[in-house]
Amino acid sequence: MTCSRTQRLTYGFVGLVVGDAALLLYLLLNAVWVRAALLAAHVGQPYAQIPVAIQVFAIYAAFSLIGWLSVGVPIVLFLPVSSIIRRPWLQVVTLGAFLGPLAMVALLLVLGGGHIRLERTAPLFIFSILVSTVSFAVYVALLRKRFVDNK
C-alpha cells in the first residue's frame, strides 16, 4: 500500500477545502438564523449578518490554511497510510477532532510569543474542531477509496 506524497498532500488539501466549506456553511446558516431573529424582533442590523459571516470565514480560512501547513501537512506526510485506513471511523473522527485544537494551540503560541491567552477563544476552538474533523475524515475517505479501487 503506497501512496505518493503528492497524492497524500492533494487529498489533505481537498480535505481542508471541504472542512472550510463546512465552516462556511455553518457560519452562513447561523447568520441566516440570527438575521431572522433580528428581523422578527425589529432590532439590530439584520442585513449585516451574512456579510459579517463571510468576513469571519475569510479570516478563519486564512488561519486554517496556516494550521493545516503546521499540523496537517506533517500528519499527511509522516503518518503511515496503512495505519490510518485500517482505523474505525470513530477513531478517525476523534483524531480529526483532536488535530484542530492542536493546530489552534500552536498558532496561539506563535502569535502570543510563547504565551497563550485563552480569553474569548472558545468559538475559534469550536471552528477548529469542525474544520479538522471534516478535513481529516475526507482525507481518510479519499485514501480508503483509492486503496479499495486499486484492489
pLDDT of the residue at 145: 92
Measured CA distances, 39 to 26, 42, 78, 120, 130 (Å) = 20, 5, 50, 27, 28
| Grid cell for residue 57 | 470565514
What's the sign of the alpha-carbon dihedral 35, 38, 43, 44? negative
0.85 cut: is pTM over it? yes
pLDDT per position as a tens digit, 76-131: 999 999 889 999 999 999 999 999 999 999 888 888 888 888 888 899 999 999 99
Percent share of the chain, pLDDT over 90: 81
> Which cell numbers hold the place of 116?
497563550
* pLDDT of 1: 56
Contact yes or no for 52/97 (Cβ under 8 A): no
CA distance linking residue 54 with residue 56, whole number of Å:
5
Burial state string for 82-102 with b = 16 or more CB within 10 A and e = fewer than 16: eebbeeeeeebbebbbebbbe
More confident residue, 19 or 118: 19
| pLDDT of the residue at 114 | 85
How confident is the model over 21-49, as a mean pLDDT?
96
Q: How confident is the model at residue 40 (pLDDT cuts 50, 70, 90)?
A: very high
